[in-house]
Amino acid sequence: MTLNKDSGGQALVVVILGSGKTSVYNEDIVREQETTEIAHSAGHHVRDTLAVRIQKPNSRFFIGKGKVEEIGSYLNNHPDITSVILSQEISPSQQKNLEEAWEKTVYTKNELIHVIFADRALTAEGKIKVELAGLHYQLSRLPGKGKEMSRTGAGIGTRGPGEQKIEASRRDIKDRIVRLTQKLLKINQRRSLNKSKRLSMNMPLVAIVGYTNAGKSTLLNTLTGSRVFVQDRMFATLHPTVRKRSVAPCGEVIFADTVGFIREMPETLKDAFRATLEEIKDADLIIELIDSTDPSYHLHYQVIDETLKEIGASGVSRIVVFNKCDHDCFEEPLLEPEFTTNYPVFHISARSGKNIDQLVEAIGQCISTRTKHQRFETDYEHLADLERKIFRHGYIKNVAPLENGRILVDCVMRNQESVR
């Protein structure tokens, strides 16, 4: 999906508020902050933000006619504004009507999120998933495209002179979806093979999850000494990245960085990345990373919790980690007791490494409850057979020769498993 960004022009962000009822965490403020940040991340220069409260959506504009005129007057007084960004998803016909009324390009937040994902996709798999999400999004909005998409067309490849342009566009999009889905299937087969290899080794997996731009990639780098791409922007990571490190007393542990969560994620993108997110279910432990400097961290926690439930990962062991505790504006955050009763809570700085040692120790303690160390003596003749048996239920830490000519195998096994 391709949208034109502002080229030097300014944008007006219009935040659509509800009927007046807000939660204790003031979701209206969060909606304004997120829509503005999404606009910036998609390449728009935000000139101003206006809040519009909607009691009942207008069928023609979604926004009330009086507000449409009021915003139109504001736009006339600020000719440097070239586009308007809405926090609310509206129908294509309403979007077209607003563009005609304001004589400005109108974007919705969901459109811009698709743009951001398209810009961030670096791998072949990520690009295909993002394009698929964009095609499904376009397909869902074709029926409301209005007169332009209703013109009849005829020619080779059409079903007849009366076929509407909207039907031809729908067919083209569906054909493209089929081709991309076939490509993605081949990529997923390779991913499944790599996943099977990892599972066959039985190394513990720790998944780092959190809101977009909470510092997940930075934490992965700090924990593993890797150099995964890090940037202070939304959705910098779209493809799961895995790295290993030794964690006492468990030995080698795999850490996985995941795509960031966000409120009101478009369903098309949720579906596109669902398979990636569902891999979190395979984790032995989840690190739930929260930006402690964001005043909306309560809502972020709720979004993470709801997403984990949605993908069936709510039963996985968890550590709640508040990041950026070295920030100047840091104040120790608190969550309701019912949220954290069963979860250890840590305050760290992924950037400076503050309290990372304590976190690693806690990770080791959580994982070690599911594993145990075992040692076996064998001879060279039976070493290969023993290794195969161990790799079915764990992994080998070390193999060393003994003075008596035999081999000592030091391994880590699942608690419930044994070598027979």
- What is the pLDDT averaged over residues 357-366? 93
HEC secondary structure over 227-283: CCCCCCCCCCCCCCEEEEEEECCCEEEEEEECCCECCCCCHHHHHHCHHHHHHHHHC
Indicate if the pLDDT at residue 380 is higher than 50: yes
Per-range mean pLDDT, top range of 51-60, 110-119, 268-277, 329-338: 51-60
Q: Greater confidence, 61 or 296? A: 61
Class of domain 10-116: alpha beta
Model confidence at 54, pLDDT cuts 50, 70, 90, reads confident
CA gap 55, 13 in Å, rounded: 19
Q: What percent of the chain has pLDDT over 90?
A: 29
If you average pLDDT over every residue of the chain, what do you get?
81
CA gap 6, 11 in Å, rounded: 8
Within 10 A of 393 (CB to CB), how many other CB atoms are there? 17
Q: What is 203-368's CATH number, 3.30.2040.10, 3.40.50.300, 3.40.50.2300, 3.20.20.70?
A: 3.40.50.300
CA distance readout (Å), 335 to 22, 154, 321, 322, 332: 19, 62, 12, 11, 10
Within 10 A of 201 (CB to CB), how many other CB atoms are there? 15
Among residues 318, 324, 264, 249, the alpha carbon closest in space to that of 293 is found at 324
CA gap 255, 318 in Å, rounded: 14
Model confidence at 124, pLDDT cuts 50, 70, 90, reads confident
- What is the pLDDT averaged over residues 4-27? 67
Among residues 268, 262, 214, 260, the alpha carbon closest in space to that of 241 is found at 260
Q: What percent of the chain has pLDDT over 70?
A: 79
User: What are the φ and ψ backbone dihedral angles of 261, each rounded to 5 degrees?
Assistant: -95, 160
CA distance readout (Å), 178 to 118, 136, 142, 191: 19, 11, 18, 20
Among residues 113, 119, 48, 43, the alpha carbon closest in space to that of 77 is found at 48
The pLDDT, as a whole number, for residue 377 is: 94
Is residue 122 within 8 A of residue 238, CB to CB? The reply is: yes
The pLDDT, as a whole number, for residue 242 is: 83
Burial of 30 (0-12, 13-18, 19+ CB in 10 A): buried
3-class secondary structure, 102: helix
CA distance readout (Å), 271 to 178, 210, 246: 15, 18, 34
Model confidence at 246, pLDDT cuts 50, 70, 90, reads confident
Model confidence at 33, pLDDT cuts 50, 70, 90, reads confident
Determine if the peptide bond prior to 249 is cis (ω within 30°). yes
Q: Greater confidence, 17 or 349? A: 349
Cα R_g (the chain), whole angstroms: 26
3-class secondary structure, 315: coil
Q: Greater confidence, 115 or 277? A: 115
Indicate if the pLDDT at residue 153 is higher than 80: no
3-class secondary structure, 132: helix
- What is the pLDDT averaged over residues 108-118? 87
Q: State the sign of the Cα–Cα–Cα–Cα dihedral 273, 275, 276, 280.
A: positive
Among residues 370, 292, 365, 298, the alpha carbon closest in space to that of 336 is found at 298
Within 10 A of 260 (CB to CB), how many other CB atoms are there? 21
3-class secondary structure, 42: coil
- What is the pLDDT averaged over residues 133-141? 86
Q: Greater confidence, 315 or 273? A: 315
The pLDDT, as a whole number, for residue 152 is: 44
pLDDT, one tens digit per residue, over 191-202 is 666 666 655 566
H or E segment and range at residue 85 = strand 81-86
The pLDDT, as a whole number, for residue 394 is: 72
Model confidence at 20, pLDDT cuts 50, 70, 90, reads low
Q: Greater confidence, 169 or 338? A: 169
User: What are the φ and ψ backbone dihedral angles of 318, each rounded to 5 degrees?
Assistant: -145, 145
Domain residue ranges in the chain = 10-116, 122-185, 203-368, 372-414
The pLDDT, as a whole number, for residue 24 is: 45
H or E segment and range at residue 16 = strand 10-17
The pLDDT, as a whole number, for residue 32 is: 85
Report which DSSP code applies to 62: B
Model confidence at 162, pLDDT cuts 50, 70, 90, reads very low
**β-bridge mates for residue 319, sequence order:** 287
CA gap 91, 71 in Å, rounded: 19
Indicate if the pLDDT at residue 330 is higher than 60: no
- What is the pLDDT averaged over residues 215-233? 80
